[in-house]
Amino acid sequence: MNLAERDHNVIWHPYTQMKTAALPIPIVRGEGALLFSEDGQTYIDAVASWWVNLHGHAHPYIAEKVTEQLQTLEHVIFAGFTHTAAVTFAERLLQILPQNQRRIFYSDNGSTAVEVAMKMAIQYWNNIGTPKRKIVAFRDSYHGDTFGAMSVSARSAFTAPFWSYLFEVAFIDVPTAGNEQETLKQLEAFAQEGDVAAFIYEPLVLGTAGMVMYTPEVLNQLLEICQKNNILTIADEVMTGFGRTGRTFATDYLQQKPDMVCLSKGLTGGTMALGVTSCSEKIYEAFLHEDKSKTLFHGHSYTANPVACAAGLASMDLLLQPETQESIQRIGQRHADFAQSIKDLPQVLEVRQQGTILAVEFEDGGTSYFSELRDTLYSFGIDNGVILRPLGNIIYVIPPYCITNEQLEQIYQTILGMQEIVTGRRHHPRPDLDMLHD
């Protein structure tokens, strides 16, 4: 029995209808932007393994630092105790986060980072004696799969069984081109009600909505409304953080800074599970009191895990190297050039690009996991040695920063093949995979 069959007997995979899904592809090794399967096939990881991998698979420097930490301290309870890796990582994160961020609260993934931020926001108002209940979010947003994170995410088929359990949220439209003024009016109207505790948003790029993009200028205006009306702001940088948008954080494009920032995914370079919620001193001070009931009662068994913090420190070392910063700009430029070349092709509805994030939206189909086109395009990518995970009719690319120009070209050629499928020319050439080893 091979690994895929063994998996099928015991594993329940995420976002997968196990009755109809094909057997999973067994991956036995990773190196750089490549993954190697049990049967000898090679795949370019064009989606950075769900957007987490920054520097390539099995990076020797991160492995070295993780190994060193394992030989010293694997874990310790983080209530009443601390350790060097957590303190050093927090210090270094605060050096690169917006200057108003002063405290780091550790958790273990993106959803929990969001949960922490929302609990901070709601309890903040209770602690200072002016309770507020309402949260504002973008209508098509995604912030995670725990119940609080689902509540501030789009109501969709993914959350339908749980709608009656989710708390009420004030949704506003995404301020895409031509819709900016309407979105500003919607937020202003909710703000005037005086009961808004916080506004949570994915800055500049909404990931699972289909890599929907909007400008820093309109986000600045939205944040100005919040500041004027005493509404806390939460930047969900779980996907956009650590260089994805071309700058270290999407927030770096803005004049207005959030009260809280949520981080995960690239936080450890894709090596270990870890989440962070940072906050301003104003937020932190609202929890300092002789009354212990004003404590933030939140924690996880693996809070500030030393091994994960060591991986995060190593990833940050790599991120801040000039070569990595140059690669981020290189990838962004290559994406921009490809976007320009494909935007007028038949059935290409729109091409969106922000930094290392590229999205190609086809006219055929809809942005849904249930789309038949989605399955066709996914299979075409796999057949051509490229891992792309379409969002219905939208193909997106978020590669590791170590990806070569030749590998990017392989991805682009695969997307062009997908465009041919959508326009009805079902010509499926398999590119020369020798370039994958360059």
Domain boundary, last residue among 319, 334, 366: 319
Catalytic residue among 108, 140, 236, 259: 236
- Selected catalytic residue, list 43, 142, 401, 412: 142
What local confidence, expressed as pLDDT, does residue 367 receive? 72
* Local confidence band at 431 (pLDDT 50, 70, 90 cut-offs): very low
Q: Are residues 230 and 335 in the same domain?
A: no
* Spatial distance between the Cα atoms of 236 and 275, rounded to a whole number of angstroms: 11
Write the Ramachandran bin of 428: left for phi over 0, alpha for psi from -120 to 50, otherwise beta. beta
Euclidean distance between the first and the last CA atom of the chain, given in angstroms as a whole number: 33
Classified as helix, coil or strand, 307 is: helix
Mean pLDDT across 9-31: 96
Residues in CB range of 163: below 8 A, 6 or more apart: 155
106 catalytic, yes or no? Answer: no
CATH of the domain at 42: 3.90.1150.10
Which residue segment(s) compose the domain that 251 sits in?
73-319
Average pLDDT, the chain: 95
Contact 219, 183 (CB under 8 A): no
Whether residues 313 and 342 share a domain: the answer is no
Mark 365-378 as b/e (b = at least 16 C-beta within 10 Å): bebbbebebbebbb
Q: Does 80 share its domain with 135?
A: yes
Q: Is 378 a catalytic residue?
A: no
- Asked whether the beta carbons of 411 and 48 are under 8 A apart, the reply is no
Q: Has residue 409 been placed in a domain?
A: yes
Q: Is 15 a catalytic residue?
A: yes
Q: Are residues 286 and 237 in the same domain?
A: yes
Query: Is 70 exceeded by the pLDDT of residue 427?
Result: no
Does residue 88 sit in the same domain as residue 234?
yes
pLDDT at 435: 35
Domain contains 66: no
365 — pLDDT class (breaks 50, 70, 90): low
Asked if residue 340 is part of any domain, the answer here is: yes
The CATH number of the domain holding residue 176 is: 3.40.640.10
- What is the predicted pLDDT for the residue at 176? 98
Q: Confidence class of residue 422 from pLDDT cuts 50, 70 and 90?
A: very high
Q: Average of pLDDT values for 211-217?
A: 98
pLDDT surpasses 80 at 277: yes
**Neighbour tally for 130: CB within 10 Å:** 11
What percent of the chain clears pLDDT 90, i.e. is strictly above it?
Answer: 94
Whether 274 and 263 share a structural domain = yes
Same domain, 314 and 330: no
Rg of the chain (C-alpha set): 22
In tens, the pLDDT along 168-203 reads: 999 999 999 999 999 999 999 999 999 999 999 999
280 and 252 co-located in one domain = yes
Residue 68 counted as domain residue: no
Same domain, 297 and 346: no
Q: What's the length of the chain?
A: 438
State whether 346 and 256 are in the same domain: no
Q: State the Cα–Cα distance between residues 79 and 361, nearest whole angstrom.
A: 47
* Predicted local confidence at residue 433, as pLDDT: 36
d(CA 57, CA 318): 13
304 part of a folded domain: yes
In a domain, 67, yes or no: no
Count of domains for the chain: 2
* C-alpha separations of 296 from 133, 152, 417 in Å: 17, 20, 52
Residue 430 has pLDDT above 70, yes or no: no
109 & 208 share domain: yes
pLDDT at position 395 over 90: yes
Catalytically annotated residue among 265, 396, 401, 412: 265
Which residue, of 282, 301, 319, is where some domain finishes? 319
Give the bridge partners for 276, in sequence order. Answer: 106, 263
65 within some domain: no
**Catalytic residue check, 228:** no
Which amino acid is it at 138? F
Tens digit of each residue's pLDDT (9 = 90 or more) over 67-83: 999 999 999 999 999 99
* Residue 432: predicted pLDDT: 42
Residue 42's Cβ-count burial label (10 Å; 0-12, 13-18, 19+) is: middle
User: Does residue 199 share a domain with residue 255?
Assistant: yes
Tens digits of residue pLDDT in 247-269: 999 999 999 999 999 999 999 99
Q: Which of 319, 345, 374 is the last residue of a domain?
A: 319
Instruction: Tell whether 42 is covered by a domain.
Output: yes
Q: What is the mean pLDDT of residues 316-339?
A: 98
Query: Looking at residues 98-109, what average pLDDT do you find?
Result: 98
